[in-house]
Amino acid sequence: MLICTVVAARPNFMKMAPIVEELQRRDIPRHLVHTGQHYDAAMSGVFFDELGMPAPDFHLGVGSGTHAQQTARVLTAFEDYCVEHKPTMVVVAGDVNSTAACALTAAKLGIAVAHVEAGLRSFDRSMPEELNRIVTDHLSSLLFTTEESGNRNLCREGIDSSRICFAGNCMVDSLRSHEQEALRRAPWKNLGVEPNGYALITLHRPSNVDCEERLQALVGVASRIAMQMPVLFPVHPRTREKLFRLRIHAPASLQFLDPHPYLAFLGLMARARVVLTDSGGIQEETTALGIPCLTLRSNTERPATIETGTNVLVGDDLDHIENLVDQMARGEWKKGTIPPLWDGHAAQRVVNRIEASLGGVRWTGPRIHSARLHGLRPFHRCNRTR
């Protein structure tokens, strides 16, 4: 047996680290392959150190490019790896270009694919991540979901419920393991802000940063919030490029920062008064931490963060953001609860199921039954009713 775990870009590292650790703990033969989609220390290297992940066994060095270039480079480089090392199963996470490319390569070579964070849908096909999610899910033989909506979406798309495993959220495993250390480091101190006294903002989605007008308007909102409380803005490389081109007149209390390492960012999130973001992962992390989150998008593929968590979708009405920030400053914000199975043990459930599927061991964890799929019927019946 050889399990190949794949990482590629910043949001993959915290999802895969607890799985790699669990495979190691059980002495299961494994390789860690880094495609190199994110490559500099701030976006990649530092995460390995802080999450305690071993160095990758293979680095494909694909780097940046257009979607087609980046995807094509992963396809060819990962095929070479698979042909040479013949893994029994390839485990991919999330929705980045490398996730879909590695799933396609493996599936065409007849290698089983397991997708961690399966079934999420924004129903917005203009997002590259949505296309990556759909492709990856339909190529996977094991689909690990993080929330109930994922189970429903996959069944609706005709995926056999026996392949779906509601495992919970591996990113929350990493968060729980590192939360205390992140707080102990008190990263807000170096930035001259008080715990629970600042806003934290991140932006990198093409829909927010590729259009100059929209980015300018969002920086305007951040500047106005900065009149009420300090605003910290760790800038993603994609956003940095675009910001350079804008003429920004921001108050000094809006601090543009380099991308932060995992522990520093986690510490900042855990003591923010409010977080504004367009990231998928941060919507989940703020829900796990109970911190108010304003999502600067008109949809989310993570509805549990809204239905039970602390997240609110802002949409296109930017004036609404300032009203929401005022509301939150007055303490009028939903408290939120933690979604089911975001309990710090998701990676154990993932590896249990992987072992069971490869070793013929009986799987004793939760199964997705049609009754739990909110009235949807299993695969063959779903097809017939459409």
Q: Please list the active-site residues.
A: 204
- Distance, in Å, from the CA atom of 174 to the CA atom of 267, rounded to the nearest integer, reads 13
By CB under 6 A, residue 105 contacts ligand UD1: no
By CB under 6 A, residue 71 contacts ligand UD1: no
Of 164, 154, 185, 170, which Cα lies nearest the Cα of 15? 170
By CB under 6 A, residue 214 contacts ligand UD1: no
The least CB distance from residue 60 to ligand UD1, in Å, is 13
Contacts of 283 (CB under 8 A, 6+ apart): 277, 293, 295, 300, 302, 305, 309, 311
Q: Could you say which of 22, 95, 137, 301 contacts ligand UD1 (CB under 6 A)?
A: 95
By CB under 6 A, residue 355 contacts ligand UD1: no
The least CB distance from residue 82 to ligand UD1, in Å, is 20
Q: Could you say which of 10, 115, 133, 353 contacts ligand UD1 (CB under 6 A)?
A: 10
By CB under 6 A, residue 31 contacts ligand UD1: no
Q: Could you say which of 30, 204, 297, 349 contacts ligand UD1 (CB under 6 A)?
A: 204
- Distance, in Å, from the CA atom of 76 to the CA atom of 102, rounded to the nearest integer, reads 10
Site residue total, ligand UD1 (CB under 6 A) = 19
By CB under 6 A, residue 96 contacts ligand UD1: yes
By CB under 6 A, residue 77 contacts ligand UD1: no
Alpha helices in the chain (DSSP H): 10-25, 46-51, 67-85, 97-108, 128-139, 148-156, 170-184, 206-209, 212-225, 237-244, 262-270, 280-289, 304-307, 318-329, 346-359, 379-385
Of 378, 363, 350, which Cα lies nearest the Cα of 152? 378
Sheet holding 3-7, edge to edge: 58-59, 30-34, 3-7, 89-93, 112-118, 142-145, 164-166
Contacts of 252 (CB under 8 A, 6+ apart): none
By CB under 6 A, residue 295 contacts ligand UD1: no
Residue 113, CB-side half-sphere exposure with 13 Å CA sphere? 25
Q: Could you say which of 50, 129, 130, 147 contacts ligand UD1 (CB under 6 A)?
A: 129
The footprint of ligand UD1 on residues 216-275 (CB under 6 A) is 236-238
By CB under 6 A, residue 119 contacts ligand UD1: no
By CB under 6 A, residue 130 contacts ligand UD1: no
The least CB distance from residue 12 to ligand UD1, in Å, is 9
The least CB distance from residue 258 to ligand UD1, in Å, is 11
Residues lying near ligand UD1 in the complex (CB under 6 A):
9-11, 37-40, 43-44, 64, 95-97, 128-129, 204, 236-238
